[in-house]
Amino acid sequence: MEYYISSDKDKLDVTRIHQEVKSTYWGGYRTPEMTQKTIDACLCFGVYSNEGKQVGFARVLTDKVVFAYLMDVIIFEPHKGKGLGKKLVATILEHPDIKAVHTVGLKTMDAHGLYEPLGFKKIGDSAMWMAKDNAKYDYE
């Protein structure tokens, strides 16, 4: 099966996104209204089968210059384990609104192996916070 990624919010299956996020360790408290608010406030990405069925989701909150916060990265069953999460995050990092951002941050309890090959590193002693730092600092 072939897949594609789109940032077109009109394609998002918000009901399915809510069900999937609500079933995670981080999103169990969310109501459908909260899920909609998060989508409205962010740059969103959907992963779709060639038939147009949504099979994954992620969103980014950003100022498009200094910081971007990657959230709700999820691939729906039975599409997990096919490299779609890595492809989704790599696509997000190449998006024009994200590519030039100095720092992209995220929190995860269990997906460090997904993010590390894409340039993310743990922040200090935190078990959850990771960041990809693209900033070029001049300390002269």
- Identify the pLDDT of residue 64: 96
Q: Which pLDDT score, from 0 to 100, does residue 135 have?
A: 77
Tokens of 32: 């459908």
* Domains, the chain, with CATH or none: 3-133 (3.40.630.30)
d(CA 27, CA 73): 11
Q: Distances in Å between the alpha carbon of 121 and those of 4, 21, 77, 115, 118? A: 27, 24, 27, 8, 9
The three-class DSSP label of residue 60 is strand
Q: What is the pLDDT of residue 139?
A: 59
So what's the pLDDT on residue 121? 96
Please tell me the predicted confidence (pLDDT) of residue 73.
97
Question: What are the 10-residue block averages of pLDDT along the chain, 140 residues in total?
Answer: 94 97 94 98 97 96 97 96 96 96 96 94 95 77
What pLDDT was estimated at residue 102? 95
> 103, 3, 108, 8: which is closest to 56 by C-alpha?
3
Encoded tokens for 11: 């394609």
